[in-house]
A = this chain, B = another copy of it.
Amino acid sequence: MSEINSVGIVAQQTAHFNQPLTLKSGDVLPAFDLIYETYGTLNADKTNAVLICHALSGTHHVAGKYSPEDKNPGWWDNLIGPGKPLDTNKFFVIGVNNLGGCHGSTGPASINPVTNKPFGASFPVVTVEDWVNSQALLADYLGINTFAAVVGGSLGGMQTLQWSIAYPERIKHALVIASAPNLTAQNMAFNEVARQAIITDPEFHGGDYYAHNVVPRRGLRIARMLGHITYLSDDAMGAKFGRKLKDTIKYSFDVEFEMESYLRYQADKFAGEFDANTYIRMTRALDYFDPATEFDGDLSAALRKVTAKFLVISFTSDWRFSPERSREIVKALLDNELPVKYAEVTAAHGHDAFLMPDEHYHAILRSYLSKVEV
């Protein structure tokens, strides 16, 4: 079934932008690459394009596989494909790795053409606004004037919201899932702990660890463990692991409980794959995003020029981006008399629910997207 509905074998592509991009920080990237994938076919009028914005540790590899043997399809493969809720028979779907990322787009580990060495610490701090601006350049490059929809969960939802603010004429529908109009102090605090773990790791070397042929593994491990706790609900962790012992109690600091084994496994895996400089930049982008700031904290005012239609979805057990935060977005949209549909999905998985093939959740997406005109 999943094979039949798969977008099949996919390949990533690179768009090179030989033009300076001025970032929100004031820094300028003289040139940059964006790596992306596409699924489905762009129609003649170029009106059926859907942009997927990824979250903290996401990538451009959203659907499909790189080879028949590939056991790890794209991260939203359960959602995207022929006949799936985001139907590639209808839509032309684009996944892109964000600037500052570590999966092919220009980022801290990329070679700085000026020095012929990795950017490292010198790679600028990028923001949600910068990502959206660079994604707009990718749309230009692909000849797409207007997206039928921009879709994102979590930090991806923030990009979607920013799309509706920055480019109202270029986005028809905004699907904002498990997201928020900004981070709470608690969320920012978790980010700070993760960053401090990375930055104080002796092998971080101020961000220039590439030159030392090491990575700040210890810090990345802690950051990832912490992430996993906040992505899952207390109940979901309880259901998955509870207080189950791995073996008999040893009265030690080695793995005693199954949950510890899970966290350490996830931590080790992540620390071997993800770039620490990217991680600290992604969390900073989360911290900084707050479109209401320029409007004295008034989100409704921040959304005054928005014209897109919205679908906002939250999950009951998501304590990182709680339903309450989604309702703030909905309220601000309604203040502007914008068309918005809102669903609060009963789900046990916490923040991670937005990645899961929950039947109710997918039915909502399928129904909404089936009515999107292309």
Contact B238 A186 (CB under 8 A): yes
Task: Give the distance in Å from the alpha carbon of A218 to the alpha carbon of B257 in the complex.
Answer: 25
Chain A residues numbered 237-275 whose CB sits less than 8 Å from any CB in chain B: 237-238, 240-243, 249, 251-253, 256-257, 259-260, 263-264, 267
Would you call A288 an interface residue if the criterion is a C-beta within 8 Å of the partner chain's C-beta atoms?
A: yes
Give the residues in chain B near A226, CB-CB below 8 Å.
193, 226
Q: Is the CB of B192 within 8 A of A234?
A: no
Q: When the two chains form their complex, are residues B125 and A237 in contact, meaning their CB atoms are under 8 A apart? A: no
Per-residue interface assignment for chain A, residues 63 to 94, with 1 indicating a CB less than 8 Å from any chain B CB and 0 otherwise: 00000000000000000000000000000000
Query: Does A301 sit within 8 A of B, measured CB to CB?
Result: no
Given A184-B238, A185-B242, A259-B189, also A253-B195 (CB < 8 A): yes
Residues of B within 8 A of A218 (CB): 197, 200-201
**Is B264 touching A196 in the complex (CB atoms < 8 A)?**
yes
Interface residues of A in 104-138 (CB under 8 A from B): 124-125, 127
Distance between A296 CB and nearest chain B CB, rounded to angstroms: 13
Chain A residues touching B, range: 35 or more
Taken together as a complex, chains A and B put the C-alpha atoms of A226 and B263 apart, in Å, by 16
Q: Which of A174-197 contact B (CB under 8 A)?
A: 182-186, 188-190, 192-193, 195-197
Q: Which residues of B contact A127 (CB under 8 A)?
A: 251
- Give the shortest distance, in Å, between A231 (CB) and chain B (any CB): 11
Inter-chain CA distance A249–B186, complex, in Å, is: 19
Would you give the shortest CB distance from A316 to chain B, in whole angstroms? 15
- Whether, in the assembled complex, A221 has its beta carbon less than 8 Å from a beta carbon of chain B, the answer is yes
What are the 6 A-B residue pairs with the smallest beta carbon separation, nearest first?
Answer: A25-B251, A185-B237, A186-B234, A125-B251, A200-B218, A193-B225
